[in-house]
Structure 1
Amino acid sequence: MKNLRSGENSPVDGHLIKVMTHCTINTGQASELDVSAFLLTAEGVVRSDSDFIFYNQPQAKGGGIKLVSEDNESQYFTVDLNVIPAEIQKIAFVMTIPVAFSSAFALSIKIENAMEFHPDRKNMQEKSLILAELYRHKGAWKFRALGQGFKGGLAPLATGYGVEIDDDDEAVSAVPVPPQKTTPIQLNKTTVDLKKAGEKVTISLVKGKNLVAKLKWDTKVDLDLYCFYVDGKGEEGKVYYRKLGHLDKAPYIKLLGDSQGAGEEIVEISQPKHIKYALIAAYSALSNGVGSFLSYKARVVVTDNDQQEVTSHLAHKDPYSYWVALALIDFTKAGELTIQNVETYSNKKTFARQFEERTGEKPASLFHKTTAKVQDINKYDPERSPHLFKDGTFMMSVGTREFK
């Protein structure tokens, strides 16, 4: 494998090649890593927006180049140089990430089994990078290593190459752009807000893509994210601060640390195909375990890697609950997932209602005895966690007792 330095070029052998990119960043930010390619004329611009290859348009007309994602951090392009139109003189390969490239742990682009380039990311504050380019030279193709940083995100970079972006942000041009008649391409994420319990949305799930769920809040309190799940075999489990989980083996869900303060906690699901249901809940670790989750502005943000984002909000104030269930995710239909706002608090009223729905009897109390049980529980305990059942339903206050 030949190693190239910035500015160096090398001839490309054959016409069927694989251009592979890799970048390792913080796991919780990997979903926002994007790789793109631009098919450029001799003037350095696209002929039309169809020459822009990215997550929402992964293949060029005619099939000359196609973007394939193995996972968040490793993506590649299959290229048939014989099919690339004669007007196209250059193909630029671009990467954008949500942080400065200086914070990346690894960064590379290579032509499989031929050559590779590792850009010098030290002190690189830019978040967009022109990694390399394929270009025609005397009837053949060559590969040039660049590693050129670009100020701004994907939208201004695309604008610089002549793509018309449907974006309100001011574009910063990298190259002169002549007037062109193009149809705007939408780069922004599709965002959905589920503001009330019962509201739900179904989004596509791209095979091989990870899913990230974030518990966010705005005040300086300690909330804990719990992800209760039912896996593909019907086994029940949970991921939380004492049992972080794994991404490379079962349960294919991992909690990325315990914040112990204002901000966010994140769970990542690396293999959604192995999960049937996931319930995202929050536990209050305040004194006495009480306080209004609504006043903390707690919410769950679920993001897939096809640039779709769903936020499940809270609408009711319940200052005396240790627990709130915020979002239920259903993975049972191939190629899609359904996210539902399930705002439910762990209080006596909720426990009594859910217990009676499941057993047909009232729960045990000083004035009522019953032999009916759910998870071997028939009496309300405010510190018990929710429990997610095999059929995707859940009940508050019948799980294990938690006290941080």
Structure 2
Amino acid sequence: MQLTKGGNAPLKDRSVNLRLSFDKQPAGADIDVSAYLLRADGKVRGDADMVFFNQPSAVGIQLQNGNAFSIGTQELPSDVEKIAICVVVDGRPASALGAIQMSTSDGISFRHDVSDAPEAAIILAEVYRRNGEWKIRAVGQGFTGGMAPLARSFGIDVNEEPVVQAPPPPAPVSLKKVTLKKEGKVSLKKGGGEIRARLIWEGRYDGDGDLDFYCFYVMKDGRRGKVYWNNHGSRDRAPFITLSGDSQAAGMEEIVLHRPEEIRFALLAAYSALSNGTGSFQSYRPKVVLTDHAGNEVTIPLLNPNEFSYWVAISHIAVADEISISHVETYGVSGAMFSSNPPGTDAEAAPRLHPDGRFDVSLGEVEFKD
């Protein structure tokens, strides 16, 4: 069913996937998709009711791959009456997108032409409760200002001058984002709570693509190890690092450092499974997004076009007086036939993280899934 502006339709399924796409992808501009869980008065109950790049889930809703929401209507709190679905173009008017297309898993769609929109923010649609049932309405309303004014209009306490505090109180939402170039580095203050690292990638062809996210670590007491598909770690005991699971298709895996202060060094790495065949990491358009409790976000893109590298060391984390995050993007040796690789190296060998924080690639353990 194709909705026009102002039109509505019932949501047939209790679990709904809602995806947004754009006619144009403006170079150098971030497109931020967000959702707000609202009471009957049109305001959030608290800052936890804003779902966006830095806070990708709330009760009953999750942001996926930066442009889609998974909504479980039965799981939504009883005092949430509607969800506002919004798009913001950072630093530019929404007209840079040309048009926004919304589609749901039960066949509802809405195309909103924004080619003449002067505003940076668009309230695209509402998912709302009516007589005990859930419906969706095509809104297509422009909003003057960027994400911060939009969030404030819904009752969010926004702090645009992000400061990492220790220990953090329930903090205002921070909108600070940094994209690291190769060999770039950023520091966070200790005491900001857990650090989350998400490996996000798109599939090739029919959505295939099995990337595995690894965290090699050295603890303060000298213990070393790794959290990966065969050992998901632990939140409550050493190493206080967890992996969300093993996604064997395009999507996302998340590693959480629950107590970064217990870690001396960590190395985030990824492996492209043999089942993927040839094809560079770059072909999956992957990135690692790190966030902390204070709302800071560090994005690390992977750009190497080499089609025969199975391993990449992505980011090195060192914890001392501050938490230092470096974009290292170091690839393993080539797996192509007849490659002239250094003696002792293996394209399938994992990276190694040494006790002093140094790391190398293609010299570690070789381990395959059953």
> If the length of structure 1 is used for normalisation, what is the TM-score?
0.51
Pair 1:256–1:127, CA change in 2 (3 A): farther
Q: Which amino acid aligns with 2:303?
A: A
Q: Which amino acid aligns with 2:327?
A: N
- Cα deviation for residue 285 of structure 1 reads 1.2
- Cα deviation for residue 322 of structure 1 reads 1.1
Pair 1:387–1:126, CA change in 2 (3 A): farther
2:183 matches 1:194: no
In our comparison, the structure showing a higher alpha carbon Rg is 1
1:345 corresponds to: 331
Aligned to 1:294, the other structure's residue is in SS state helix
- Cα deviation for residue 330 of structure 1 reads 1.0
Pair 1:391–1:318, CA change in 2 (3 A): same
Q: For residues 104-115 of structure 1, what are the structure 2 equivalents within 5 Å?
A: none
Q: Which amino acid aligns with 1:400?
A: E
Q: Which amino acid aligns with 1:96?
A: A
Pair 1:391–1:102, CA change in 2 (3 A): same
2:217 matches 1:233: no
2:352 matches 1:387: yes
Pair 1:392–1:289, CA change in 2 (3 A): farther
8 Å contact kept, 1:227–1:278: yes
2:289 corresponds to: 301
Q: For residues 210-221 of structure 1, what are the structure 2 equivalents within 5 Å?
A: 210-219=194-203, 220=207, 221=209
- Cα deviation for residue 286 of structure 1 reads 3.8
Pair 1:318–1:103, CA change in 2 (3 A): closer
CA distance in 1, matches of 2:287, 2:175: 18
Pair 1:170–1:250, CA change in 2 (3 A): closer
2:229 matches 1:247: no
CA distance in 1, matches of 2:331, 2:154: 52
- Cα deviation for residue 402 of structure 1 reads 2.4
Flag the structure with higher strand content.
2
8 Å contact kept, 1:205–1:304: no
- Cα deviation for residue 295 of structure 1 reads 1.5
Deviations 1:206-256 (A, max 9, x none): 34x111011111223110001111111112100001011000111100101
CA distance in 1, matches of 2:181, 2:154: 41
Q: Which amino acid aligns with 1:285?
A: A
2:159 matches 1:203: no
- Cα deviation for residue 380 of structure 1 reads 1.8
Unaligned runs of 5+ in 2: 1-33, 35-43, 52-56, 63-75, 85-125, 128-144, 162-172, 336-340
Q: For residues 278-357 of structure 1, what are the structure 2 equivalents within 5 Å?
A: 278-287=266-275, 290-331=278-319, 333-334=320-321, 336-347=322-333
CA distance in 2, matches of 1:253, 1:346: 24
- Cα deviation for residue 282 of structure 1 reads 0.6
Q: For residues 349-388 of structure 1, what are the structure 2 equivalents within 5 Å?
A: 364=343, 379-388=344-353
8 Å contact kept, 2:197–2:256: yes
Pair 1:93–1:233, CA change in 2 (3 A): same
8 Å contact kept, 1:100–1:124: no
- Cα deviation for residue 384 of structure 1 reads 0.9
Aligned to 1:287, the other structure's residue is in SS state helix
CA distance in 1, matches of 2:146, 2:174: 8
> If the length of structure 2 is used for normalisation, what is the TM-score?
0.55
- Cα deviation for residue 291 of structure 1 reads 2.1
CA distance in 1, matches of 2:45, 2:78: 20
Pair 1:125–1:275, CA change in 2 (3 A): farther
8 Å contact kept, 1:211–1:268: yes
8 Å contact kept, 1:100–1:126: no
Q: 2:77 pairs with 97, 121, 129, which one?
A: 121
8 Å contact kept, 1:225–1:265: yes
2:25 matches 1:94: no
8 Å contact kept, 2:241–2:255: yes
Deviations 1:152-184 (A, max 9, x none): 9xxxxxxxxxxxx97465467579xxxxxxx99
Pair 1:101–1:240, CA change in 2 (3 A): closer
- Cα deviation for residue 123 of structure 1 reads 7.6
CA distance in 2, matches of 1:343, 1:323: 10
1:44 corresponds to: none
Pair 1:341–1:125, CA change in 2 (3 A): farther
Pair 1:166–1:238, CA change in 2 (3 A): same
- Cα deviation for residue 102 of structure 1 reads 4.2
Aligned to 2:323, the other structure's residue is in SS state strand
Pair 1:237–1:126, CA change in 2 (3 A): farther
8 Å contact kept, 2:312–2:332: yes
Percentage identity across paired residues of the two chains: 39
Pair 1:126–1:303, CA change in 2 (3 A): farther
2:39 corresponds to: none
8 Å contact kept, 1:321–1:382: yes
2:358 matches 1:402: no
- Cα deviation for residue 93 of structure 1 reads 7.6
Q: Aligned residue pairs: how many?
A: 231
